[in-house]
Structure 1
């Protein structure tokens, strides 16, 4: 069952249904409906049908749907029994991202030009490598002189 963009309504987006979608931007993909938010007119889809722990989620404004084909109905994509989130791993990723953002923020100069900042960034990458190389050289030299 194919539908044109002008005849699409929110009843076409029931949770779990499998759709083939063509957008007004020329993209074509298949996905399973996770939810549809009426006030914002946003459709949330889980792309592909391959089983596995990683899935692509797409948020699509329904206005951008050019053609829609119903492929079938599947079980609820958000079945709690089949979902597993490793909270410890997620928290570790968050902490790492926060530390990285803080380190990146510390390297940004105040009141400097963009050119000066880019020079500093390039030198800081080189400096880290040179300082490690220098440390290795000094350690090697110290071990040779001690014997």
Structure 2
């Protein structure tokens, strides 16, 4: 029974687990199983495809984007706790990896520094190991670059490391100025 979205059929009338063939107003066509319907947002939560398996695509679809649909029948409850398989170890590992990545990215953002200082840090980080120590850029664990982040602001480290950081800093500042001047 094909019905279009303009009919009086409401997504709330479909039971959880029903199988639908859906055509959207954007031209997508797919088969899916209804997991739930959120009345406030008018969004259907659908599990794409009809074959069960360990990996499934979930699609959130606003009901008013449904151009037409065909009721294909009833399937098993997709939220049956006895049949849902979650690999908690894998999920915890992904969570820990995401947290580590977020912490690493947060350490790369200077607190209380200008956008120019952050741009210099980002440019230096492409060729040298760097980190922030409050508003000071620490390069190769020993060379320090203080505000205003000019070659004269470089201190610490061996003379060779100090000279290298000055040269890279001078080159990166010129490159950033040329890039900024062309905009």
For the aligned pair, the TM-score class normalised by the smaller chain equals 0.7 to 0.9
Q: What is the TM-score with the length of structure 2 in the denominator?
A: 0.61
In 2, Cα distance between equivalents of 1:71 and 1:126: 58
Choose between structure 1 and 2: higher helix proportion. 1
Give the structure 1 partner of residue 46 of structure 2: 45
Give the structure 2 partner of residue 97 of structure 1: 98
In 1, Cα distance between equivalents of 2:76 and 2:109: 49
In 1, Cα distance between equivalents of 2:123 and 2:70: 51
- CA gap 1:18/1:106 in 2 versus in 1, 3 angstroms: same
Give the structure 2 partner of residue 76 of structure 1: 77
Where do 5+ consecutive residues of structure 2 fail to align? 130-139, 141-183
In 2, Cα distance between equivalents of 1:116 and 1:89: 39
In 1, Cα distance between equivalents of 2:52 and 2:26: 28
Number of matched pairs = 128
Please tell me whether residue 4 in structure 1 is matched to residue 17 in structure 2: no
Please tell me whether residue 107 in structure 1 is matched to residue 138 in structure 2: no
Aligned to 1:90, the other structure's residue is in SS state helix
Where do 5+ consecutive residues of structure 1 fail to align? 132-147
Superposition deviation, residue 58 in structure 1: 0.8
Aligned to 2:6, the other structure's residue is in SS state helix
- Residue 37 of structure 2 contacts residue 44 of structure 2 at CA under 8 Å; is this kept in 1? yes
Superposition deviation, residue 21 in structure 1: 0.9
Range moving further from structure 2, 98-107 or 86-95:
86-95
In 2, Cα distance between equivalents of 1:91 and 1:109: 29
Aligned to 2:54, the other structure's residue is in SS state coil
- CA gap 1:123/1:62 in 2 versus in 1, 3 angstroms: same
Give the structure 2 partner of residue 62 of structure 1: 63
Q: What is the TM-score with the length of structure 1 in the denominator?
A: 0.74
- Residue 13 of structure 1 contacts residue 35 of structure 1 at CA under 8 Å; is this kept in 2? no
Deviation readout 1:17-76 (Å, 9 max, x if unpaired): 111111122211110011112232211100012332000111111111111111121111
Give the structure 1 partner of residue 170 of structure 2: none
Deviation readout 1:55-114 (Å, 9 max, x if unpaired): 01111111111111111211111221211212232222212111110110111234333x
In 2, Cα distance between equivalents of 1:126 and 1:24: 49
